[in-house]
Amino acid sequence: MSEIKTHKVGIVMNGVTGRMGTNQHLMRSIVAIIRQGGVKISDEEVILPDPILVGRNPAKLEALSNTSGVEKWTTDLESALADPHNIIYFDSQTTDRRANAVKRAIAAGKHIYCEKPTALTTEEAYELYTLAKAAGVKHGVVQDKLWLPGLQKLKMLIDTGFFGRILSVRGEFGYWVFEGDSVPAQRPSWNYRREEGGGIIIDMLCHWRYVLDNLFGEVKSVSCLGATHVDTRWDEKGQPYKCTAEDAAYATFELEGGIIAHFNSSWTVRVRRDDLLTIQVDGTKGSAVAGLRECVVQHASVTPRPIWNPDIDSPINYYDAWLPVPAFKPFDNAFKIQWELFLRHVVKDEPFRWNLLEGAKGVQLAEKGMESWQKRAWVELPALKP
C-alpha cells in the first residue's frame, strides 16, 4: 500500500475570536476538516489545514486555542505572515480593518481568502483584486449562501428548467435583534455604528449580489431605501448608544434578462415565515420558495385559481398546493464546502470563481444602494473590469 501524500497548508486565521470566525470558519470548517482527516483528493492524496490563530486579545486567543485544539496562536500578525509555512491568509475581522490587513498579506505573497464585505468602498475592494492579480496570488471571498441546502435545491430547479421563464425573485431576510437593555443583543454593537463599518446595506447587499448574479442573472441597477428604525441600543458593556447606521433596507434590483428581484433586509422584524431567509421565485411554469435548508415548489398544473372576495373566508388553503423538494444529495456546512473548494484551488489549481473581483461587485452593489437611498433614485451598476 502506497504512502498517502499529505499537503500540510499553513493558514493565518485573523479575527476568528468573533462569533462568525469562531463558529463557522474555525470550528465548523477548519477544525471539522482536520478532524475528518483533511480534504481528500484521492486515496493517495489529502490536504490538511495547519492554522495559526491571530488576534488582538491574548486571553481570547488562548481560550479559543484550548477549545478548538489549534495549538498555534499569536497577536503578532507580521510574524505569522513572515513564516513561509503559512501560505494562506484568512480575514474575518471587522470590515473596517480588513482591507489594510489583506494588502499586507498580499505584499507578503500569501494567497487570500476573506469574509465579505472585502472593504468599505468599491474603489478599495477593487484595488484588493488588482493587487492580488498583479502579485499572482490566488484569492477567494466567502459567498456561503450559495451552498445552503435550500439554495442548492433552488439552483437544481433552475438548471432543470422547472420555472420556465423566470419572472421575479422575492427575498425576505431578518429577525428581531434585541436592543440589549433587558434582553442581550444577538449582534455586536459595531453593526449599528456607521463609523465602524456597520449597517445592514453593506452587510446584506453584498450577499444578495452573489446570490442574484450566480442564480438568476447579473444585477444591472438598484433602487434602495434604508432606515434606522431603532435609534438607541445598548453595547457589550451595558451602555446605551445612538445608532448611526441603518438597521433595515428595502431594495429592488433589475437583472439581466428582465428579471425583477426585491429583497427586504431587517434586524427589526419579527419572523412569521418559513425561515430567517426565504426566497420566492416565480416563473411561467412554476414557483418555488427556498429557506436556508428546505425548498417547496408549486407547478403551473396545480396552481389554484383564486378569486378576490374579501367578504367570505377563503375556500383555498394556499399551503396545500406546495410540495417539498427532496434532498438529492448529502448537504455539508456551507462555509466548510467553500473552504474545501478554496484549499483544492490553492493546492491543486482547481477552478474557483468566487474571487476578490466578485467581492468587489458585492461592495459595489452596497455602495450603489447607499447612493440610491441618498438620491432617492434608480442607480446603474457599471461593469468592473476583470
Residue 236 CB-half CA count within 13 A: 5
- The C-alpha angle with vertex 134 and arms to 132 and 139, in degrees rounded to 5, equals 25
Closest of 299, 298, 295 to residue 279, by C-alpha: 295
Residue 123's SS3 state is helix
Collect the ranges in the chain with pLDDT lower than 70.
1-2
CB 21 within 8 Å of CB 14: no
* Portions of the chain given CATH number 3.40.50.720: 5-144+334-355
CB 11 within 8 Å of CB 346: no
Single pTM value for the model: 0.94
CB 38 within 8 Å of CB 345: no
Specify the CATH number of the domain 145-329+363-380: 3.30.360.10
Superfamily of domain 5-144+334-355: NAD(P)-binding Rossmann-like Domain (3.40.50.720)
pLDDT tens digits for 338-357?
999 999 999 999 999 999 99
- Which pLDDT score, from 0 to 100, does residue 3 have? 85
- Which pLDDT score, from 0 to 100, does residue 44 have? 94
- Which pLDDT score, from 0 to 100, does residue 1 have? 55
* Portions of the chain given CATH number 3.30.360.10: 145-329+363-380
